[in-house]
Structure 1
């Protein structure tokens, strides 16, 4: 009776949280009644809904448009303006280019080509998978990258297993010549975590080999989801928290002189990504493959049957793609153009093309301008080469009339593959930041944290990383960054620390959710293949979180200190007379 009652309560938990949370938080606006308390009520309600996901994340992000006007925090027209800011347009344009890359299968061609170059030794193969996944997740979504890479990993693992199974069968056949009848009775078919073996010899060598293959499967699949999360941190459009940072900087510090743009963020985050990727590779290789320097980098060694089989699988997958089409070449050209324009718009050490060639002010042309421009070209340029040489022929005219003109990207494809919910999620975060600023809640929270000024900034950064990395394991990384960044910005103003000293570590830590399958979509995709248990992901992930915090601390206190002038309190943040 009690068990059935508890089960029914558990099934109704979403409805109970959805209904009772607003009433539980009502003392804030009813008893205190200030604008700060009203804003805190809205933020608390959204934080609970985001953490429990009783509503879709994008729907929860729409609550400020309803609650801020009702509680006299902000006017409705001011709230609604936050949902489509410059940062949202940057994300929209970057996503459209990523959708085009995915639509034309260009990401798969790049991945397979790199894997053919890297090599097929297990350790090098893992490094190749991680490098390709990290590079692709810099430009397209982490989820799409993982969904594309894991089947390739699975095909390689299956081929490796089939090769090993053939070797086992040959060994067993030779043993049958000596004692065929006894082997028939002693051995039978066994399935080890989805891998089927013809026979299992009662020997320590056979058991050890099965365990090694299982560990390799775990390592090869885990490396993909971890590399996707790490790679997304290197560019502004790689993951949501990076865009939340640049949007919050523009929102909270409008005079910051574009200190966080595509070029400056890449210059800071890319070396950190490389260091963390190498450290993650060494850690995963150590616990799953066994780190052996000579075996990994030995030159001139003869390839084993397993390595040849893995290479053949990758080569066959690449051969199926065929030669590059006109559309792939066009999308690749536009992708390169986008990256070049982003880097040269305002490189920092010299005038960029926006201020030099067009004589525009810095705030006129932004990274969003470039992203939308290239995204528009995708809907303009044709998917097939134009028939310029045979316009006058009747056959050419008939072909042009019979075949409808297709562009590199159509609106139907963009509408189907675009994650529109992220735009609303970003907009809701900007609305929360603006409401916290206008109501005075951010300033009040910053004053409460002023005793932290006695702690060194590097120690504050470590505390922030630990807190955010723990929080992001159970909620969306975009929601985590949205909730923490405004508070940390106000705190930095109160204690006289450069806001980037704490906001940048918070942004990076929000993407480092390695411990649980539900923490990120890449983790969930890898977990669904059945090789990895929750305990495996937790054991590897807790060390990955520590690696991430150490790498962030190193980056922010070395080249980050010089790039962003973190030793001084900037004038654009000095609103409180610090």
Structure 2
């Protein structure tokens, strides 16, 4: 028995890979219709995604093999999902993130915002949250967290060197060192097993992970889950106006700001003793003007190290603003969008993303050509100036696996629609859908939250849940955006565990935060965030997207035969 246990422990991934498809084979024996064949493939993909018994990008390629062979979808229709408008938009948005990272523009923005907000312990916390939230609106939340980690680590270490805070606590059972007065320099101590992070350390690290998740909901390019939802929605309803950049921001920007406010308050109450002036946490950070002046000096030093703003940073900032303006005014709603000046054909968000990509590759990082006729020979260029971002850098830093994951989700959604799988599931839930739409939304969001915390990443969660929810909307006679977007947003709220989402995992290592500690603070964060969504969304969303009326294109796409 022990030998069998050891065998399963070592080879469990291979066992899941080969045994799971055999275990669910009776589905095809009982009913071999296209809908049930699709259910069989989807169940295989869901378990593979959740367990990661094979790499998720490889799981995402299964529809390319199984859908044509099982008579669900032709190979050309499956392949088209792996490089559609949404995936092209993802490529462009990742290149924007790469350009900001290569030029260190994100660091300049972050340090300046923190400098403006203030440098006390609480104000630094607010500044870190706002900066991470803002950066995460425009680049992937994992990348935003990774970019902010050095800022947090450097700030904490510098404050500790000044003797203003302690990053680590020693177990109470062990003798503790005598405390040093504020302003006394303290050498950084080596990490050992008996050390755990202090409240300030946990506060700062957890805050950037949570702020990145919240910030990612504010803009459609801020999270892979947003782009996955956009692709799934537009695949299911090809005659719809789609998920428009401007409307997404009009709806989710206020939600994001309200959520980040409650997040800052909650984390400061939990870790920094906000509204509890006599608590130990509040006394630990009450260091007077010394801490603020020391922190200000740290921020100023880091800004000085960046030097004056460079030409390449100005170009990246200009392209970034240009991209936002073009995305917003592609279809703003209150005026005709700029594409109408050129064509009557559909112009998607990917057009803007790839246009900006070309600008980054074609623009030099320094305009040395202006010195071509300079009297000073030392200033004359001797070689071509490199571009803002080279294609080699893009190749190295591009998240190719995420493109496959999104493409696999889109292929799965199209197969589910074509085979009638999602319609079958939605019809079976018809009695449940007779409840009030707010109750239906609460249950769907609750299901998404449970999946994203414990079972799957937010992208996989959106990919699994969204096709079913969209068909449930059609059966219930609801605007598909009402349930669809609320579930997509709920899927992004992965606050409970380090394994729930990559930003949590990224901060768990350097901060040494235990899972139980993150679960405690994350539960409060999750309750507050869901409360904001479930209270504000049902009343505000219909004002932006006109969700009280069932559009004609729902019936068109419902009746359309593949």
The two structures share one fold, judged by TM-score above 0.5: yes
In 2 relative to 1, CA 320–454 (structure 1 residues): closer, same or farther, beyond 3 Å? Answer: same
Q: 1:293 to 1:570 in 2, by over 3 A?
A: farther
Q: Is the 8 A contact 1:164 1:306 kept in 2?
A: no
Tell me the SS of whatever aligns to 2:48. Answer: helix
Structure 1: distance between partners of 2:395 and 2:116: 35
Instruction: Say if 2:498 and 2:508, in contact at 8 Å, map to a contact too.
Output: yes
Deviations 1:154-212 (A, max 9, x none): 2222232233379x9xxxxxxxxxxxxxxxxxxxxx9638xx9993369xxxxxxxx99
Which ranges in structure 2 are unaligned for 5 or more consecutive residues? 181-194, 279-285
Instruction: Look up the match of 2:424.
Output: 444
User: Equivalent residue for 2:283?
Assistant: none
Query: 1:192 corresponds to which residue?
Result: 170
Alignment check: 8 A CA contact 2:169 2:196 kept:
no
Question: If the length of structure 2 is used for normalisation, what is the TM-score?
Answer: 0.90
2: CA distance, partners of 1:212 / 1:288: 14
Task: Please name the residue that 1:377 is paired with.
Answer: 359
State the shift of 1:534 in Å: 0.9
* Aligned position for 2:381: 400
The CA deviation at 1:292 is 3.7
The structural deviation recorded for 1:550 is 1.4
Q: Matches of residues 493-532 of structure 1 in structure 2 within 5 Å? A: 493-532=474-513
CA distance in 2, matches of 1:313, 1:30: 67
1:456 to partner: Cα distance? 1.0
Match runs of 1:117-132 below 5 Å: 117-132=116-131
Alpha-carbon contact 1:390-1:396 (below 8 Å) kept: no
Per-residue CA deviation, residues 325-374 of structure 1 (Å, 9 max, x unaligned), is 1111111111111111111221111112112x22x22x521211111111
**What corresponds to 1:222 in structure 2?**
206
Query: TM-score of the superposition, structure 1-length normalised?
Result: 0.87
C-alpha separation in 2, matches of 1:201 and 1:372? 56
Would the aligned equivalents of 1:217 and 1:531 in 2 still touch at CA under 8 Å? no
In structure 2, do the counterparts of structure 1 residues 90 and 319 end up closer, same or farther at CA, with 3 Å as the change threshold?
Answer: same
3-state SS in 2 of match to 1:365 = coil
Deviation at 1:270, TM superposition (A): 0.7
Return the alpha-carbon distance in structure 1 between the equivalents of residues 143 and 196 of structure 2. 29
On the 8 A contact 1:135/1:231 being kept in 2, the answer is yes
**Structure 2 residue matching 1:233: 3-state secondary structure:** coil
How far off is 1:530 after superposition? 3.5
Measure the CA separation in 2 of the matches of 1:59 and 1:121: 47
Give matches, 1:107-506, under 5 Å: 107-164=106-163, 192=170, 199-200=177-178, 214-258=198-242, 260-292=243-275, 303-355=288-340, 357-358=341-342, 360-361=343-344, 364-391=346-373, 395=377, 400-401=381-382, 403-473=383-453, 474-506=455-487
Larger Rg: 1
- Asked if 1:26 corresponds to 2:25, the answer is yes
**Separation in 1, partners of 2:249, 2:115:** 27
Aligned counterparts, 1:6-45, within 5 A: 6-45=5-44
Shift of 1:387: 2.7
Tell me, in whole angstroms, the C-alpha distance in 2 between the residues paired with 1:549 and 1:499: 20
Per-residue deviation, 1:391: 3.1
Aligned to 2:59: 60
2:133 touches 2:215 (CA, 8 Å); kept in 1?
A: yes
Q: Residues of 1 paired with 2:99 and 2:42: CA distance?
A: 36
Unaligned runs of 5+ residues in structure 1 are 169-189, 203-210, 296-300
- Alpha-carbon offset, residue 439 of structure 1: 0.6
Tell me how many residue pairs correspond in the alignment. Answer: 534
After the TM superposition, list the runs of 4 or more consecutive aligned residues in structure 1 that deviate by more than 6 angstroms.
none
Q: How much is the aligned-residue C-alpha RMSD, in angstroms?
A: 2.6
Residue 197 to residue 142, structure 1, CA distance change in 2 (3 Å): farther
Cα pair distance change 1:448/1:304, threshold 3 Å: same
